[in-house]
Structure 1
Amino acid sequence: MTDLSIDARLLAPDNNRHQANLTIVAIAAALLLAGAAALSNVVSWQQGLLFLLGGALGLTLYHALFGFTSAWRVFIVSRRGAGLRAQMVMLALATALFFPVLAQGTLFGGAVRGEIGAVGIGMLTGAFLFGLGMQLGGGCASGTLYTAGGGNTRMLVTLAAFIAGSTIGALHLPWWSGLPNIGPVSLIERLGWLPALMLCWAVMAVIYLLTVRAERQRHGALEPGARTELRGFRRFIQGPWPLLWGAILLAIGNFATLYLARRPWGITSAFALWGSKILMGLGVDVASWPYWQGARAASLQQSIFTDITSVMDFGIILGALLAAGLAGKFSPTWRIAPRSLLAAIVGGLLLGYGARLAYGCNIGAYFSGIASGSLHGWCWLVAAFLGNILGTQLRPLFGLGVER
């Protein structure tokens, strides 16, 4: 019996005949190193390191196939819960790292802050739409980036629609923010960091154990992890990695982001920035939108390479490209079935729009929100999971499978 090794349903069959694609590896590595050097020279050393950190996160996501979308779907459909259990381990480690630091307000002498979002109608609606979009688009925010970087051309369509939806969401956000809400709620401030940590760990433990019980009731035993003949250093380089490796490394990576960026990891705010800049180039007066007033105004006028989230997103894509090259699995195909293409567009729009309403995605709202002790992170989980249930039911209408 295995628990936190790779869930076989989340992983393509292992093919040890694959050899590393050295051309792809060289291109991805060169771009990561050159980009980090340029950013360090032009912006700051922190920006260069954040770019490399994004690359490390992208490689981790790809090699561990640490997806949120497929993990939730296989539990909804088959009651296989290895992916959900890995997420609970990731969150448990992240909260242990984050809570005492955020309570103090400093990390290695520098001020840091968490991601605390308001809980209300707009946020819950956005999380539900995001969850629905996950199953139609075929990925979450991190999943879209790392699968696109790994050569999945359908996810490039999802990414383009994701950017469009996020831009529209930025335009509409002031209206949604005006709907009834209870405002931001920090569990660390309300309870103290240690009681808040114990409460969060208790909830994570309940979710973990419920998935174990559900899987055993349905199947009699927990599913064995995917088998691979690769061992030691070669497995580390080429993958696949156990989910436990991914859970630990993603939690540490988010904590490193907190140190370098002075706030936790996020992904989707960059999409609204990219889309808005494109509209600016087309002559649209984006700067007059309420979303781009105040603190956000400067980022609209500056280069995207000064934006931390954008730089990390670019790093994730290149890190996944590097991982795909190392695994010998970079082989993009350009044929997409019409219904699948439609699902990618609709799903991407829902992902982008929902992320803006919900103050983030599976990373910025769920992972970093819970790591920050924000109540909205837990509320996001519930609403997004409900959206995933509906999205899973709708997948066959678009010719999409539900088992993986």
Structure 2
Amino acid sequence: MELATQPATVVIWGGFALAFVFGAVANRANFCTMGAVSDVVNMGHWGRMRMWLLAIAVAIVGANLLGHAGLVDLSKSVYQRPTLNWLSLLLGGGLFGVGMSLAGGCANKNLIRVGGGSVRSLVVLTFLAISAYMTLKGLFGQWRASWLDPVSLDLARFGLKDQSLASMLASSSGLAPKTALLAVMAAVAVPLLLFVFMDRRFRANPTQWLAGLTIGAIVTGGWYVSGHLGFGENPDTLETVYFATNTRTIESLSFVAPLAYSLELLLMWTDKSLHLSFGIATALGVVLGSAAWALATRSFRWEGFASLQDLRDQLVGAMLMGFGGVTAMGCTVGQGLTGVSTLALGSFVALAGIVGGAVATLKYITWRAEREA
């Protein structure tokens, strides 16, 4: 499967390199959104949550400074479309949160675990990819398109060209778009940074704060690779396009839909219309980056299912994550980092659903364990 254009090659290898570092850093720092939520709910410990919030803040600042400088156009991303599918985002996010709690981790965490030797996570990712593909193009997709996506809000009716919070502020206040962008960016990122670094234990833990900074910068790098280096003229059609992205527009890290496209590519490898993409390369990069760290530190361990109950929970969780992740247009990384970095209203709705679903499920799991004790 040869790539026809140099920009596509740059995008694929750039995405792979960024994800490779992501996988190694996330393995080293035990970066996991579900784990962060679980730490807060079950132990009142905010260390990993602060790491995640720091990554969000850095991604917001980095992505929007790129946009402010004119290096990328975040309004072209799928997160900024003027139609707000609020029911799909909220329900999909909620089901993803339930699924990742049952499966013991989100798509990103399971990619990292595969790199560390977890056969269990490989099974989870396989069922997640099947469910995601069914939600993109199969039976689940019919349900989503017929029942959920039509429940939406057309923001164009309110004079908005996209769903960026900055656009909303500019429209309502009369501020210049770039001024509104900087104002919203500061209003969201500065409180996050203050909350993150006000904790002395977090400041004294360089592993966590360096990981948060690095992961946020990687998401920013993803926008630059696909939205700047991968933006140019197609020599065949002479159209200006975004090369090697599944959405055919600007992307950064996200793992649910790319896992579905990875499965499709493996199943139909001889189909010449299918090619490697930024998303597929990043999914592979996370696994190999995590594996490199695990092998270098001798922490690589084969892992299977603990019990039949564990198997059932993991598979149910995987199916919910596949459906929920596509319906919500992203996972804890795809929406929780990448989507939120665009300051899209829908990304905050999806993120609220993910966290709400995870919290409710974790509390239920705790209640069930106490009842059975």
TM-score normalised by the chain length of structure 1: 0.71
In structure 2, distance between residues paired with 1:395 and 1:73: 11
Does residue 244 of the first structure (1) align with residue 209 of the second (2)?
yes
2:52 to 87, 99, 109: 87
8 Å contact 1:136–1:343 — kept in the other structure?
yes
Secondary structure at 2:289's aligned position in 1? helix
Q: CA deviation at 1:63?
A: 1.0
1:174 to 134, 145, 164: 145
Distance 1:156 1:40, change over 3 A: farther
Alignment partner, residue 361 of structure 1: 331
In structure 1, distance between residues paired with 2:45 and 2:191: 19
Q: CA deviation at 1:278?
A: 6.8
Q: Bigger CA drift: 82-91 or 314-323?
A: 82-91
Alignment partner, residue 313 of structure 2: 343
Distance 1:119 1:112, change over 3 A: closer
8 Å contact 1:131–1:387 — kept in the other structure?
yes
Alignment partner, residue 266 of structure 1: 254
1:213-228, aligned counterparts within 5 Å?
A: none
Q: CA deviation at 1:59?
A: 0.8
- 2:328 aligned partner, one-letter code: A
- 2:183 aligned partner, one-letter code: P
Does residue 141 of the first structure (1) align with residue 107 of the second (2)?
yes
Q: CA deviation at 1:103?
A: 3.7
Q: Bigger CA drift: 126-135 or 150-159?
A: 150-159
Q: CA deviation at 1:111?
A: 8.8
In structure 1, distance between residues paired with 2:116 and 2:153: 39
In structure 2, distance between residues paired with 1:278 and 1:364: 22
In structure 2, distance between residues paired with 1:397 and 1:341: 20
Alignment partner, residue 188 of structure 1: 166
Alignment partner, residue 186 of structure 2: 198
1:5-404, aligned counterparts within 5 Å?
A: 44-107=9-72, 113-114=76-77, 115-116=79-80, 118-170=84-136, 171=138, 172=141, 173-175=144-146, 176-182=148-154, 185-191=163-169, 192-201=180-189, 204=192, 208=196, 242-262=207-227, 263=250, 264-276=252-264, 302-305=273-276, 307-395=277-365
In structure 1, distance between residues paired with 2:8 and 2:182: 37
Distance 1:206 1:180, change over 3 A: farther
Distance 1:335 1:225, change over 3 A: farther
In structure 1, distance between residues paired with 2:129 and 2:12: 23
Runs of 5+ in structure 2 lacking a partner? Answer: 156-161, 170-179, 228-249
- 2:313 aligned partner, one-letter code: A
8 Å contact 1:120–1:180 — kept in the other structure?
yes
Distance 1:97 1:134, change over 3 A: same
In structure 2, distance between residues paired with 1:335 and 1:251: 32
In structure 2, distance between residues paired with 1:248 and 1:101: 17
In structure 2, distance between residues paired with 1:40 and 1:253: 24
Q: Bigger CA drift: 264-273 or 144-153?
A: 264-273
Q: Deviations over 1:114-142 (max 9, x none)?
A: 44363511110000001111110111121
Q: C-alpha root-mean-square deviation of aligned residues, in Å?
A: 3.3
Distance 1:99 1:335, change over 3 A: closer
Runs of 5+ in structure 1 lacking a partner? Answer: 1-36, 213-220, 227-240, 282-299
Runs of 4+ in structure 1 over 4 Å off? 37-43, 110-114, 205-209, 221-226, 275-281, 396-400
Distance 1:113 1:100, change over 3 A: farther
Q: Bigger CA drift: 174-183 or 257-266?
A: 174-183
Count how many residue pairs are aligned between Structure 1 and Structure 2. Answer: 321
Alignment partner, residue 294 of structure 1: none
Distance 1:394 1:47, change over 3 A: same
In structure 1, distance between residues paired with 2:351 and 2:345: 10
- 2:316 aligned partner, one-letter code: V
Distance 1:245 1:223, change over 3 A: closer
Alignment partner, residue 240 of structure 2: none
Q: CA deviation at 1:244?
A: 0.8
In structure 2, distance between residues paired with 1:280 and 1:141: 23
In structure 1, distance between residues paired with 2:183 and 2:66: 15
In structure 2, distance between residues paired with 1:268 and 1:155: 14
Q: Deviations over 1:295-314 (max 9, x none)?
A: xxxxx963342x11001111
Distance 1:149 1:182, change over 3 A: farther
Q: Deviations over 1:319-366 (max 9, x none)?
A: 111111011011203353111111110001111100111011111111
Alignment partner, residue 236 of structure 1: none
- Percent identical: 18
- 2:255 aligned partner, one-letter code: I
In structure 2, distance between residues paired with 1:129 and 1:196: 29
- 1:347 aligned partner, one-letter code: G
8 Å contact 2:265–2:275 — kept in the other structure?
no
